Chain A
């Protein structure tokens, strides 16, 4: 349990770690989708190539887009690109860094799909069985071209009645599979070498600038997260105060109306009395609930809970009330936060 919690916390601590985790999950998901996907080669002359290429390239595009969608940093980058400059200059290096990090992470799952599909071989056989040179294989050598074409298209289907006991089919199949696996391993090797070179040679170029861009891109991400959290907390406190004011003003209104109230003004030292907030019978409670629905209190907790009765002519407070305006103050107030990278 502890270990699980530790792993969970480690991933959550850093936005990049979270993204790495999500990428890993997406890559595993792509393998799982491939294994559970029922590959179904049509074994018809023109359809094979279209189907094979489609299965090879459409799911990677889908996985790439999923990788972009699930990455929170994409929204952050778009916001950073499109915001008005205000008092904080935009730094293109940061935006480039974030974009490249997003794109690299999103490419992992599609590449996994392509490599798995090539190493497995079914798709390659389906797509290219009509494209091989029939002369090389004994079983197809002495037939008319249309027949050859038809038979070659049926090579991926083992159970087809024409192909069931055909040894040349197995030869073609093995040949194509060999090519497919060679291609898959080569791509994997090239990518790993490129990744290795990029990672090990990067510190040789411009390390100081890199540290700066990394720091500031991390900063932008955290700032956004903390802003959202602060807004949530603020909304909670705002709602709390608003409701308390509402209860208090109902209490005052009721007191004003019922003149036969007790003479002594009791101090609120009894806990139950505190919680009851002066609402102590059914009619009062009903009135409070009715009033909550019919006339929600204005979004203004700065005043001392003076609630005007609905009949009065008072302009209703807009949603862009006093508190919310503070958050949209022009960035001119943050003069000291220019990033000079």
Chain B
């Protein structure tokens, strides 16, 4: 039998996978408003393509945070206080981005739109990058003391490995977002989105290989869980290659599914590699936060399990339904809400 805290580790992992899969593409679309769009009309199409979804996608992050708080209070406390400054920047970025979508279309002047465009770009670029850095740090280990307090200086958290992780996540989100765009738009914009995604595949592959190599070198994840991680890695390579193949065949739906699979495998890989640790101490292994010493009591986990398992099917059902309602492609000539 498994323990409830193990189940919750899986659930938090699922929530983060959901977050990166869903918010990942709207981060990518947000970046594309700067890198791909050629006109205000195209920019509006892009924003409207994620219009009905981005808010609910972001809730996956809030729920993941809430689940950490409830199921692993020590994890939530150590990580959120330990990464204080990066999280402040993430929050500022998410705040700006959220209102920018709503505010951008409500003014007429060029300066007004330009301002919010910059906010959308930064708001879509910084969070995936910083989350990538944070996740790479979780894998690499952090100076955590006996009281589970993390006292990290800037050079503990910023190094080649973690920055590489940040860049990889950012580019991955961008590719995923571009595929979402080619799935949700028409005509020339659709073609350009796909072409740019394809062009980015090689650099992304390089980033991945470099990051994987450094992971083998810097962490003991492969020693501990080599078989599972290798299988996941292999599946990731297959999905990656298939993504490229489907892009060439102009099968956007399949290609989007594959970039999503790569994201899911990458994030799931972090959790598989960490288990049973959730935060690794570089000071002393016995200071590690684990699934067992950071968890809430059994009663609390039981309640949370019942609540989560009874609510999650409904949440998934209506979220999937909302994607079904807005399955039609967005067109510049139609009425655009944003």
B is bound to A: no
Binding site for B on A (CB under 8 A): none
